[in-house]
Every structure is written in C-alpha cells, then in structure tokens.
Amino acid sequence: MLEIKFVRENLDLVRRSLGKRGLDYDLGAFVDSDSKRRAILLEVEALKHSRNTVSERIAQMKRDKQDASDLIAEMKGVSQKIKALDEQLNQQEQALRSVLMELPNLPHPSVPEGEDAEDNLLVSKVGEPPLFGFEPLAHWEIGEKLGILDFERAAKITGARFALYMGLGARLERALINFMLDIQTKEHGYLEVLPPFMANRASTTATGQLPKFEDDLFKLEGWDYYLVPTAEVPVTNIHQGEILEQDALPVLYTAYTPCFRSEAGSHGKDTRGLIRLHQFNKVELVKFTTPETSYEELEKLLNDAETILKRLEIHYQVVELCTGDLGFSAAKTYDIEVWMPGQQRYREISSCSNFEDFQARRANIRFRRKGKKGTELVHTLNGSGLAIGRTVVAILENYQQEDGSVIIPEALRPYMDGVERISH
C-alpha cells in the first residue's frame, strides 16, 4: 500500500507512475476522501483543544465555589459532537484506505517502460538449448507414455487442470523439493519454514492478493480462510505487526508449499500438461531487508533462484519485466524463463521481486535501527526457487531421449536413490 502523505504530496508523480503501468487511475476519490478526512481531523482537534481549555476553567470555578453548570452542559454537547465527528473520521479513513488498497505499487525508476511482456528486457541467457536428432515431444506426451503422469485420472478425481503423478514421476517431484530446499538452506543461508497452507483475510490482504484479486483465490466456504496461492502469503506474514532489530536483517526464509489458484481469466490457455494447474508445488524464497540494501538483495535473490537451473544444467534466460507487465505489489521484477523444447518456447519458472515497503505497510512490519529512536518499514522481497511442476516439465522436455526415456540430471540423482533414467 502506498503512503497517504506520499500520494498527497506527489499526485502528479503517482499519476505518471501508474500511467507507465498502462493504468489511468482517477485519483479524485483519494483527493476527496483525504480532504474530508483532514477537515474533520482539524475540527476534532479544535474541539478537543476547546474542551481541554474549558475543562480547566470548570475546575477553577469549582475550586472558587462558582456555578459551572452552563459550561458543563456546553461541554457535554461538545463531547457528543466530537464523538459524531470521530465516527465520520473513521468512515473517511476507511474510504481512503479502500482507495489506496486498489492502487498498485509504483515501478522503480530503473524499470524499463513498456506495455506488456513483448516489451520485457532480456538480461541474460545461460547455457544452450539441447540439440535433438528427432522431433522433441511435449512433456504431457512424455509423461503419459512413461506412465508417470496421468491427467485423465486426475480429471476423474477432481476435474480439469489437475495432475496425478505416479511412480518415478512422484519421486521426481519430491526429489526436486528436497534438492531445492537443501541448496537454499545449506548454501544460501535461508531458514526453512513449513507454514500453514491456508491464510486469513488480513494476511492475504497484506501481501496484495486482496481485495483486488479475490477471484484468483480459492476461499473456504463458511470460513475467513483462503488456500494459499503462493508461500509468499504465509511466510511474509510471519512478521505481521512485528518490529525487527536492524542487526537481525536481512531475514531469509524458504518454504515448500502446495499452491492453489483459480486461474480466473486463463480459459483456453495451457489446457494440457503441468504449466497452468489449480494445484501445484513450489519452493519460495522470502526476504526482509533494510530499504538501502533491498536492491542488492534482489540481485542475490535472483542468483539464488538461478542456481537451481545451473545445477540441473538446463538452458534459461532472465528478463526484466517492463512497467506494463509488473505484478500489482512489485516495484521491480526479474523473471527466469526456462527453455521448453517440446513447446519451442521459453516459459516462466520463477519471478523474483522487490516490493519495497508496499507489503510491509499493509502488514505493519517494521524495524528499529541500532542506536536510533523510532521505527521504519522493512522492504520485502520474494521469488520462486523454483516452481516444482514447471521444473519437472523442463527436465522431461530437455532430457528426453529418442527411445522415449528421460535422463535424470546428475545433480538430482542422489535425491532419486541413484536412478539415472526414467524408462518405459
């Protein structure tokens, strides 16, 4: 959430920044609510000052044994008016908060301007696409032929956009989870956490999914709980309403969770395979940092996520998202896109973002500088390290062999009890 004072004092800048996102927000509702709130606040403060002054007069009159009944009656009226104004003030503050909740974060000045994914900036390419002496298959064909993926039975159990992993397919998924968690905890200094797979409205609002994107979530009927769309939600909210010490920063967490998404608006997209499911597994990386170090930490976060693909020896590219493709809460984002030979295209496998203080303001996560009074908002960052199902896709498509088998990447074999190949 943007700061009220910042928006008020920088209306033109906010309009321009939102315009770079391709959004034409009318800030009139903000200006109106903010003006009314400030006017009521001034009136309340004036009445309270008057009440305090008159209360001192009443006390003095009582000490002098004078009749203060008229002033007492007058102050009762003032108190009632203050109470009524406080209710109006609360209404205006709620209206103002509702307006701010609809405003996305402002892009960092370094973010390239553009309308959509076509305008994203290529940062780097790592490795080379594999060369095949045959026509490479898509992962759903490979998985079904090997008997490790069963989409038909998954649809029977639940419905469309679900997957059933069998045998070495299930083992591969589990191996990847452990492989990723081990690298992040043993080599990069993250603390592993296992959070709840449901989050309440306050937590889901804090990270920016609510109120704007409720249609993308699964809500439990009769409960104020949502199935988590990403571990970002519960892990970021570990420190909701807390004050951290500067010496403890950065705080680094990694978590495996299943993720649940309605995929609203994706009708007809990626209807086959593992790319776009209602339920999928992911290892998430979350950071809490000081403002002055957050962009340095973003580069480290990106490197931490890239490490997985480097160890698996899979070709990928990194792109910086343009202003028009940024997520709602992000100030700057890098996407890691892995090469999928069976689809002849790059697909996102990780997004690494700096949210600056946008989420921290919603969640009220602050830190105290050493030797200084007061507190400041932390900066929050997160990234996928990685999406498990899409990593399975990348392995099946990049390591497929002409005989239909799939080679297990060497780095992953210790997690597969030495299995080197998935065959018929």
Catalytically active residues are: 261, 276, 348, 351, 390
The pair phi, psi for residue 255, each rounded to 5°, is: -150, 140
The CA distance from 190 to 180, in Å, is 11
Q: Look at residues 360, 362, 363 and name the one whose alpha carbon lies nearest to residue 376.
A: 360
**Tokens at 27, concatenated:** 């800030």
DSSP 3-state percent helix, strand, coil across the chain (nearest 5): 45, 20, 35
The CA distance from 365 to 49, in Å, is 33
| Secondary structure class of 305 (helix, strand, coil) | helix
Cα-based torsion angle of the residue sequence 42, 48, 50, 53 in order, rounded to the nearest 10 degrees: -140
3-state secondary structure 334-389: EEEEEEECCCCEEEEEEEEEECCCHHHHHHCCEEECCCCCCCEECEEEEEEEEEHH
The pair phi, psi for residue 288, each rounded to 5°, is: -120, 125
The CA distance from 352 to 390, in Å, is 16
Exposure string for 348-357, b = 16+ CB within 10 A, e = fewer: ebbbbbbbbb
The CA distance from 174 to 281, in Å, is 10
**Whether residue 107 has a cis bond before it, omega within 30° of 0:** no
227: CB partners within 8 A, 6+ apart:
197, 198, 217, 218, 219, 220, 260
The CA distance from 103 to 2, in Å, is 7
Kindly report the length of the chain.
424
